[in-house]
């Protein structure tokens, strides 16, 4: 398991499983999954992920709420967050970007290219180098 | 009334009044007691179909011509010498005394409206013009009057008034200065005012305070160019009830020219329910979007991983089955995206970013996106030699337009053929055309081709895999871009679909972009979705 720690938050078990499989194809990536925003807040404190992949529409605490709680915590105040969402119309995406995420990955997603896409968001300094030619 | 008539009538009146003779009318006809000229005038007045009558200072009838006989049903012999009240029987008993007084006070009373009962009891709507009669020495001796029957006119007005009053739309009239001059019952109901509280007040009392400035400007604009139009068309106008509650309205305006100037007729419809329905629809669409895409995402990702051999190598038949499932999943995803897209365009929630765009570059990008689809269908895509085709548009939406046109051409062209794109331009517009080699468009389908879910009957569309949304999206986007879309038969079979868009020079002075999302969005949105299709 690699050392690029990605924390995935999604209430759909199949999506969690598929994202774990997809990211697991890349040896540099380590994935942990949470089924709710609340669970993610605790896990993020302990595990200190390099990036959080966050579903938007979840019961109880949704994506934007989880994001703002992550920002309130010292450990995760600057952790890059990417929304992964089925609500991916342009008006939604425009709105999400104003909330302070570094990107939005629409569902359905490309499982084969997902690891590269996530790595680009997780290491913004290398984005130009790594992003070139991928996807 | 010309002087000679007054004098002649006065003469008749004095003569009759003096003699108190009920047969005097007949004598008047013969000119008894008058000079030849006065008698002629009197005879003329008597024969007029317009009703003339006169009284002395006490309201006793002294003159009653043929017109009055016809109108009220009393002959001159019956009327002369009787109290005016007895032959002009005012329908409202309380008004009768006042009416009689008008003949006795020695003052001119123009346009006095009243309803009187004819001899047979029929109500007659009348307009009286009453003038005092004076003797040659200037003494007040009575009054003369013309009475006009306006019953038919009043009934027509009454019917019109009832129709306006019963209208399910709120109706009001506003004068040029913005003051309310008429309202109907629905306006009272909508806004919670009694009409007495509205008449003569500025119409802005029905507009929320924060919008009054805008409303005054809109109203002034309409008064300058008063063509009938919908004021709330494409814009949510907000009205305010008496209790301060605001509600959305649509307002249609018409200019009404009257003698004293311009009146504005406003038909007001409360669109609260419509807005609620739209909101429900938006929520529904968002939910459907999420609920459909989530399982689709799992299906698509699983199949993609299988196809990529991440679950181990598949035997050929299994590989084929996975491919079929994958193509079907992609088709379903496209359908969901198209439905959301068209909903976004129709509801106006999809924002457009306008700027100069090269149609050639757009066509090249769309060809690149569609190349796989074309090669699967055994077709080649070609862009004919052309200039840059600079237009004023939203770059991403334009790629979508061309991609949809290509998708349509690919679906309907037989394998081995070529789909050709071409760009032609003149000073004002640029035309992009896509020429397919399909069977052409059946006549009965021509009127519906750009409609939603439109598919030609009997076509093999099911196997082509379309929902009939592609061309509808094309038209909606192109119209939002200020252009137009059409088609014509192609020489040698097939159909040419074309879009025409304004050139940047033709749009000088237009805003650089609609107020809208960040520039970064155009990178993230359609591109990302397209990649994942």
Residue to mutate among B334, B521, B527, with most A CBs inside 10 A, is B521
Residue B236 pLDDT: 60
SS3 B138: coil
Q: What is the mean pLDDT of chain B?
A: 81
A124/chain B closest Cα distance in angstroms: 16
- From residue B464, how far is each of A94, B327, B448, B455, B521 by CA, in Å? 34, 12, 19, 11, 32
Residue to mutate among A26, A90, A113, with most B CBs inside 10 A, is A90
Cβ atoms of B116 and B124 within 8 Å: the answer is yes
Strand partners, B146: B52, B129
Residue B19 has pLDDT above 80, yes or no: no
A76/chain B closest Cα distance in angstroms: 25
Give dist(CA A6, CA A1) in Å, integer. 12
Chain A's closest residue to B519, CA to CA, is A94
Residue A5 pLDDT: 96
| Tokens (6 digits) for B430 | 């640029």
| Tokens (6 digits) for B134 | 């004076």
In chain B, what percentage of residues exceed pLDDT 90?
Answer: 39
Residue B253 pLDDT: 84
Q: What's chain B's length in residues?
A: 533
Please enumerate residues of B whose Cβ is less than 8 A from a Cβ of A.
Answer: 286, 289-290, 292-302, 304-305, 308, 310, 329, 333, 340-341, 344, 349-351, 516-518, 520-521, 524-526, 528-529, 531-532
Which residues, at least 6 apart from B137, have a Cβ–Cβ distance to it below 8 Å?
none
Among the listed residues A57, A43, A60, A59, the one whose alpha carbon sits nearest the alpha carbon of residue A7? A43
- From residue B112, how far is each of B45, B131, B324, B488 by CA, in Å? 21, 11, 88, 69
| Least confident segment among A65-69, A85-89, B84-88 | A85-89
Mean pLDDT of B38-52: 82
Residue B232 pLDDT: 47
Task: Work out the number of other CB atoms within 10 angstroms of the CB of residue B372.
Answer: 9
Give dist(CA B88, CA B409) in Å, integer. 84
Residue B278 has pLDDT above 70, yes or no: yes
Which residues, at least 6 apart from B69, have a Cβ–Cβ distance to it below 8 Å?
B75, B76, B79
For chain A, first and last CA: distance in Å?
23
A86 vs B contacts (CB less than 8 Å) = 289-290, 292-294, 297
- Maximum pairwise Cα distance, chain A: 40
Interface contact B305-A104, CB threshold 8 A: no
Q: Which residue among A91, A103, A135 places its CB closest to the CB of B349?
A: A91
* pLDDT tens readout for residues B482-495: 888 999 988 778 89
Residue B533 has pLDDT above 50, yes or no: no
Interface contact B525-A112, CB threshold 8 A: no
Residue B528 pLDDT: 29
Place of tokens 């008993």: B93
Residue B254 pLDDT: 84
Q: Compare B378 and B520 and report the one with higher pLDDT.
A: B378
Residue B70 confidence class, pLDDT cut points 50, 70, 90: very high
Place of tokens 């909101």: B279
Residue B174 pLDDT: 92
Give dist(CA B88, CA B64) in Å, integer. 11
Interface contact A112-B304, CB threshold 8 A: yes
SS3 B422: strand
Q: Which residue among B289, B292, B305 places its CB closest to the CB of A111?
A: B305
Residue B529 pLDDT: 27
Strand partners, B37: none
Give dist(CA A105, CA A53) in Å, integer. 9
Residue B220 confidence class, pLDDT cut points 50, 70, 90: confident
Residue B240 confidence class, pLDDT cut points 50, 70, 90: very high
Residue B219 confidence class, pLDDT cut points 50, 70, 90: confident
Q: Compare B370 and B288 and report the one with higher pLDDT.
A: B370
Interface contact B289-A14, CB threshold 8 A: no
| Tokens (6 digits) for B383 | 């862009």
A94 vs B contacts (CB less than 8 Å) = 351, 516-518, 521, 525
Residue B532 pLDDT: 30
Residue B517 has pLDDT above 70, yes or no: no
* pLDDT tens readout for residues B429-475: 899 999 998 888 888 888 888 887 777 655 554 445 566 788 988 99
B209/chain A closest Cα distance in angstroms: 30
SS3 B438: coil
| Tokens (6 digits) for B125 | 């709507």
Q: Which ipTM value was assigned to this complex? A: 0.77
Residue B526 has pLDDT above 50, yes or no: no
Residue B230 pLDDT: 55
- Write down the pTM of the prediction: 0.52
Please enumerate residues of A whose Cβ is less than 8 A from a Cβ of B.
Answer: 12, 14-15, 18, 21-22, 25, 57, 86-91, 93-94, 97-98, 103-113, 135
Task: Work out the number of other CB atoms within 10 angstroms of the CB of residue A41.
Answer: 19
Cβ atoms of B129 and B146 within 8 Å: the answer is yes
| Tokens (6 digits) for B31 | 């000119």
Residue B228 has pLDDT above 60, yes or no: no
Q: Which residue among A21, A57, A108 places its CB closest to the CB of B297?
A: A108
For the residues of B463-505, what is the DSSP string, one character each? HHT--S-HHHHHHHHHHHTT-EEEEEEPTTSSEEEEEEEE-GG
Q: Which residue among A25, A91, A110 places its CB closest to the CB of B531?
A: A110
Interface contact B532-A93, CB threshold 8 A: no
Chain A's closest residue to B303, CA to CA, is A111
Interface contact B524-A97, CB threshold 8 A: yes
Residue B492 pLDDT: 77
Q: What's chain A's length in residues?
A: 135
Interface contact A88-B333, CB threshold 8 A: no
Task: Work out the number of other CB atoms within 10 angstroms of the CB of residue B119.
Answer: 15
B290 vs A contacts (CB less than 8 Å) = 57, 86-87
Residue B191 pLDDT: 96
Alpha helices in chain A (DSSP H): 13-24, 37-47, 63-72, 90-98, 114-122, 127-131
Among the listed residues B457, B475, B238, the one whose alpha carbon sits nearest the alpha carbon of residue B341? B475
Place of tokens 């047979």: B120
Question: How many contacts does A have with B, using Cβ atoms within 8 A?
Answer: 103
Give dist(CA B6, CA B34) in Å, integer. 14
CA B52 to chain centre: 48
B327 vs A contacts (CB less than 8 Å) = none
Mean pLDDT of B110-139: 92
Chain B's closest residue to A108, CA to CA, is B297
* pLDDT tens readout for residues B384-405: 988 888 888 888 889 889 999 9
Phi-psi region of B468 (alpha: psi -120 to 50; beta: other; left: phi over 0): left
Residue B339 pLDDT: 80
Q: Which residue among A86, A105, A111 places its CB closest to the CB of B293?
A: A86
Residue B514 pLDDT: 42
SS3 B91: coil
| Tokens (6 digits) for A16 | 């969690």
């Amino acid at each position: 398991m690699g050392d690029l720690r990605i924390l995935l938050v999604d209430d759909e078990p199949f999506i969690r499983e598929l994202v774990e499989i997809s990211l697991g194809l890349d040896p540099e990536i380590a994935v942990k999954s949470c089924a709710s925003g609340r669970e993610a807040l605790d896990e993020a404190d302990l595990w200190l992920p390099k990036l959080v992949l966050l579903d938007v529409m979840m019961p109880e605490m949704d994506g934007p709420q989880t994001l703002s709680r992550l920002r309130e915590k010292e450990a995760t105040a600057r952790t890059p967050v990417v929304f992964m969402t089925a609500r991916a119309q342009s008006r939604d995406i425009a709105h999400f970007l104003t909330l302070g995420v570094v990107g939005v990955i629409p569902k359905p997603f490309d499982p084969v290219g997902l690891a590269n896409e996530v790595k680009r968001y997780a290491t913004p300094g290398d984005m130009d180098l790594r992003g070139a030619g991928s996807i | 009334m010309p002087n000679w008539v007054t004098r002649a009538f006065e003469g008749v009146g004095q003569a009759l009044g003096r003699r108190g003779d009920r047969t005097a009318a007949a004598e008047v006809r013969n000119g008894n007691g008058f000079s030849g000229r006065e008698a002629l005038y009197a005879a003329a007045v008597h024969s007029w179909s317009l009703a003339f009558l006169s009284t002395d200072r006490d309201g006793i009838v002294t003159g009653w011509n043929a017109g009055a006989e016809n109108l009220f049903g009393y002959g001159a012999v019956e009327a002369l010498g009787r109290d005016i009240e007895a032959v002009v029987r005012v329908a409202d008993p309380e008004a009768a005394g006042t009416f009689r007084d008008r003949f006795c006070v020695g003052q001119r009373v123009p346009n006095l409206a009243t309803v009187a009962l004819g001899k047979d009891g029929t109500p007659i709507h009348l307009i009286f013009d009453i003038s005092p009669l004076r003797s040659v020495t200037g003494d007040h001796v009575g009054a003369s009057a013309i009475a006009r029957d306006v019953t038919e006119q009043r009934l027509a007005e009454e019917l019109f008034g009832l129709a306006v009053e019963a209208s399910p739309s709120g109706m009001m009239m506003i004068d040029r200065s913005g003051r309310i001059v008429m309202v109907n019952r629905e306006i009272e109901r909508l806004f919670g005012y009694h009409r007495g509280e509205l008449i003569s007040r500025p119409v802005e009392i029905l507009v929320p305070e924060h919008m009054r400035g805008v409303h005054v400007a809109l109203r002034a604009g309409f008064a300058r160019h008063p063509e009938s139009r919908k004021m709330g068309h494409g814009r949510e106008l907000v009205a305010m009830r008496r209790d301060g509650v605001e509600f959305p309205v649509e307002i249609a305006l018409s200019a009404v020219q009257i003698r004293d100037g311009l009146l504005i007729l406003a038909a007001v419809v409360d669109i609260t329910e419509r807005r609620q329905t739209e909101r429900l629809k938006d929520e529904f669409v968002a939910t459907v979007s999420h609920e459909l895409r989530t399982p689709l995402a799992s299906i698509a990702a699983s199949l993609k991983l299988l196809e990529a051999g991440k679950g181990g190598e598949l035997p050929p038949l299994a590989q084929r089955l996975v491919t079929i499932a994958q193509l079907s999943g992609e088709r379903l995803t496209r359908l969901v995206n198209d439905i959301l897209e068209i909903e976004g365009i129709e509801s106006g929630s999809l924002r457009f970013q306008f700027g100069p765009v090269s149609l050639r570059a757009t066509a090249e990008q769309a060809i690149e996106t569609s190349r796989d689809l074309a090669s699967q269908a055994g077709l080649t895509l070609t862009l004919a030699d052309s200039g840059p085709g600079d237009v004023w548009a939203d770059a991403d939406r334009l790629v979508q337009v061309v991609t949809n046109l290509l998708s349509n051409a690919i679906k309907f062209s037989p394998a081995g053929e070529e789909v050709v794109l071409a760009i032609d331009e003149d000073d004002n517009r640029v035309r992009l055309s896509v020429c397919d080699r399909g069977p052409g468009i059946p006549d009965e389908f021509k009127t519906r081709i750009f409609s939603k879910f439109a598919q030609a009957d009997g076509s093999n569309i099911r196997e082509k895999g379309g929902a009939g949304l592609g061309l509808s999206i094309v038209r909606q986007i192109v119209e939002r871009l200020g252009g137009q879309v059409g088609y014509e038969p192609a020489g040698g079979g097939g159909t040419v679909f074309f879009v025409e868009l304004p050139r940047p020079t033709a749009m000088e002075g237009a805003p650089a972009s609609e107020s809208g999302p960040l520039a970064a969005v155009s990178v993230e949105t359609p591109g990302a979705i397209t990649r994942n299709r």
